[in-house]
Structure 1
């Protein structure tokens, strides 16, 4: 039985050294397809191992602490890992996991936050709302055989409405741009606090999908109204602005003005740009203006020094940050989603140049994995375009010269972005090198981060064994990291990003949860 196998796997993991977590390369099979199938099965087994640890020691709390076999509640105590894991469990057809989560979600009381902690509108939308909506689409669609009753999806959809209805007060600002940090008990927020570009700009896909699903236009209207301020930006200081299509980061809730001109394709800004093209994928008729805004942002980035090549590795390309029209040569793991996002844009627009640019970014992010001792890319890095850094440490200088960048944050927080872009690159090209790169990265993650009853973030990817464990298993590992590592190998999965020349039937939110596009409903 599967449960018995999971128990055995957990016991083995708890008593083994890190080296025993190295996944073997499938061998002695006649076709590449068979190797990919075996790899997909190995990823599924790792997912189920991590789920079993969470279910045993943490469920229904938010996260597992795998070293201490304890739990934490950083997402308001509503079971973030369970909700985030559901869409991946469905794609993997992991029936026991699916049944447990489907039974659990209708019992969540979204009116009460654990310890009255502030509720993040952004995180709650992409994780909880996104995870529930995706499950409804999948279970009403190609995976309906995994649920025994339509009542299951009705109950899930009702919970999505319950959650969004509770969150709606966030939009009660003078502009309609929502506040992010919400006091659920008092249904209040601090109007003097600015909101972020990614916060305000990464709600529209989920809330529009909810409106379409339950035939209530109010949810979509709230987010699309707020998005208009981002599509037509104004600045508190009108004399300094970023390049066309690019934005600052912080927005005044009272005026809608951007308060700064600094931004990037990385955290705090990233999913605003991501959702511009994904809304066009969702509905290319009604969201053409979103696509146009995305193209303008990509053009400004690709035709400027933001599209930057390290001095010692001109073959690499990283997306730099900006302050106004000045470039800052820093980037990180979060920005590595952009390769896949540009590839997606190239696929839906039939633009090979965009696909090529996205491949360049994806290949370069994969090189950050190749550069480290563990085979996992770091959280953040910097580089130079004209000369090398001059350090007192000869070893650091050698690393920079060989790899083109200097690590500024060596941690790894179980992030999915490189695996995500490798998946998009494979779907666009069919080149099996991307399957190999993804498998290599996942093997490194499994060897380095698997510990105790699950997977933990680590402190230093360029140190033996990843430095030390932070004893925290992110919920998004279930939603994204496992999912993209699985899908790139699982050709027979029923939901995929469509290949070149095919119509996109699904679009993935920024947490990796797939939604049916409007034309398929």
Structure 2
């Protein structure tokens, strides 16, 4: 759900590179899921089974803040009768026996992949953050708190793997959020993976031990908000905070880092009745809303801002993708989660999408004039007294979430344009998978934009000239015959002008939007597209133990090189979305649940 989210860890892989340039200028049984696999929704903290827990005993519960919130200024949870929001999901006709058999066979295959990974994780990396899927080692990039275990909880439940789920919940008492081996903790990653994971698993199962763990994590994260202006320290010195070291919000903070708390914090406040988390995220919302129309690209926010000065309107780069993604994703989802009782999120979403649709979405030149869209980034400036925008026609796997966001948002606000644009962005991601050498799209690539979204004819010379220009950028001029060799070596799909990052991180964003668009429209062709994507990923990333990210998805001479990394979102997001793609449509209905940017489903407030 890059995840920074998008979905969902990538913030440091990509964010580190971005900051560099910013500062220069900027597992196993073949069984069907039992009927009990249907989620048992719970609306409040007392509705689960009689299990111990429900209250945190962590030292973070007793943390004494330097800058406590004045009770008089604490924002209360919204009250009143939730609105009857428009339905999101399509009406699905009864399926034939043949269609059901085919769908369930695909589900079993995906569930078997999950079990393979879970067994390997349990054997080789239990209670560590990640399994190394080739060597069988382990990594701890997210605090060493068992990120894969927590991220996988709701996937196990949804797939009907109750024995595995129960084993995982029993192990939670061994996860200690009072200490970490890291010098710096990402509050963003901690929120979306751990807090989101516990909340979703609680909403599905009603097991109060999970709510207690959510409170424990919530209390820890809340300590990072103990700053003079109550803006969070997004890259947080946990050990220093525990010692009482004075904290201040950062001066170079990514939009997704500071904007991705609202869903998790609001749900935690609703379940506990304690408004402190809701208050904390609403302060951020208030700040960003106040500046939405004062940015260099009014309606959108730049990717970088100053949390200490509470200034998020001055940087020139604006994107729906990496570094900003989940803030935009959460706008329509907060409107849905609150049952429409927080209309400001609808307003911010509509204002932001008015701008993004106009400036960020572009139609690329393709050989067959595909009616697709891609979400790029925009550099906005005023030059010689005139406002101008420069489109960076960059495709990102991370930005594929935009299709699903627009489809959900369009249904909620009854805007057919949003739904149509979301479908075309999703189609753009499907196209990028299809034309790529292994059937898997790269992390980052460039295209040649048409001058109009109505399309443009294929221009061989223009494509070659643009690709050659990019190949020559910053180096010696390349001759035509050398360029032909480059194209052959790099295997650029026709239409791509460069692939600066040819990795595949086992990302979920493309299948996320394909899944959402299928639930919104009921289009059967999306099932075929999703299965083609799964087969390609399964073929090229499977290892003896589990699945690995790829270093280069353009390599077709032999096995594509692997990085020996399997981030927790592979089991928490990607496999979950593939499984739900081939589920019955009432399993985690989008009319009852919202997914956080790590694909953890949270229960909506319904009328």
- Tell me which of 327, 333, 336 is aligned to 1:272: 327
SS in 1 for 2:171: helix
Q: Could you list the per-position Cα deviations for residues 459-491 of structure 1 after superposition, in whole angstroms to 9, with x for gaps in the alignment?
A: 111212563110011100111100110101011
Q: Residues 57-456 of structure 1 correspond to what in structure 2 (within 5 A)? A: 57-113=124-180, 115-140=181-206, 153-187=207-241, 188=245, 189=247, 191-233=249-291, 241-258=295-312, 259-304=314-359, 306-312=360-366, 314-315=369-370, 316-324=372-380, 325-385=389-449, 387-388=462-463, 389-391=466-468, 392-394=482-484, 402-456=494-548
Separation of aligned partners in 1, 2:588 and 2:431: 28
Compared CA separation, residues 449 and 400, structure 1 to 2 (3 A): closer
Q: How many corresponding residue pairs?
A: 473
Which TM-score applies when normalising by structure 1? 0.86
The corresponding residue for 1:518 is 605
How far 1:277 moved relative to its partner?
Answer: 0.7
Q: Residues 2-41 of structure 1 correspond to what in structure 2 (within 5 A)? A: 3=28, 31-41=98-108
How far 1:495 moved relative to its partner?
Answer: 1.4
Structure 2: gaps of 5 or more residues = 1-26, 32-95, 381-388, 451-461, 469-481
The corresponding residue for 1:15 is none
Separation of aligned partners in 1, 2:146 and 2:126: 7
The corresponding residue for 1:148 is none
The corresponding residue for 1:44 is 111
Compared CA separation, residues 488 and 3, structure 1 to 2 (3 A): closer
Q: Could you list the per-position Cα deviations for residues 429-473 of structure 1 after superposition, in whole angstroms to 9, with x for gaps in the alignment?
A: 111111111111111111111112111101111212563110011
How far 1:209 moved relative to its partner?
Answer: 0.3
Q: Which protein is richer in helix relative to its size? A: 1
The corresponding residue for 1:13 is none
1:470 aligns with 2:563: yes
Compared CA separation, residues 171 and 458, structure 1 to 2 (3 A): same
The corresponding residue for 2:584 is 491
Contact 2:106 / 2:582 at 8 angstroms: preserved in 1? yes
Compared CA separation, residues 269 and 492, structure 1 to 2 (3 A): closer
Separation of aligned partners in 2, 1:462 and 1:496: 36
The corresponding residue for 2:63 is none
Contact 1:508 / 1:514 at 8 angstroms: preserved in 2? yes
Contact 2:502 / 2:554 at 8 angstroms: preserved in 1? yes
SS in 2 for 1:376: coil
Compared CA separation, residues 285 and 406, structure 1 to 2 (3 A): same
> Could you say which structure has the greater relative contact order, defined with CA pairs below 8 angstroms and 6 or more residues apart?
2
Separation of aligned partners in 2, 1:401 and 1:86: 38
The corresponding residue for 2:572 is 479
Which TM-score applies when normalising by structure 2? 0.74
SS in 1 for 2:499: strand
Structure of greater Rg = 2
Contact 1:174 / 1:253 at 8 angstroms: preserved in 2? no
Separation of aligned partners in 1, 2:604 and 2:485: 50
How far 1:328 moved relative to its partner?
Answer: 1.4
How far 1:405 moved relative to its partner?
Answer: 4.8
SS in 1 for 2:408: helix
Contact 1:495 / 1:506 at 8 angstroms: preserved in 2? yes
Separation of aligned partners in 2, 1:302 and 1:167: 34
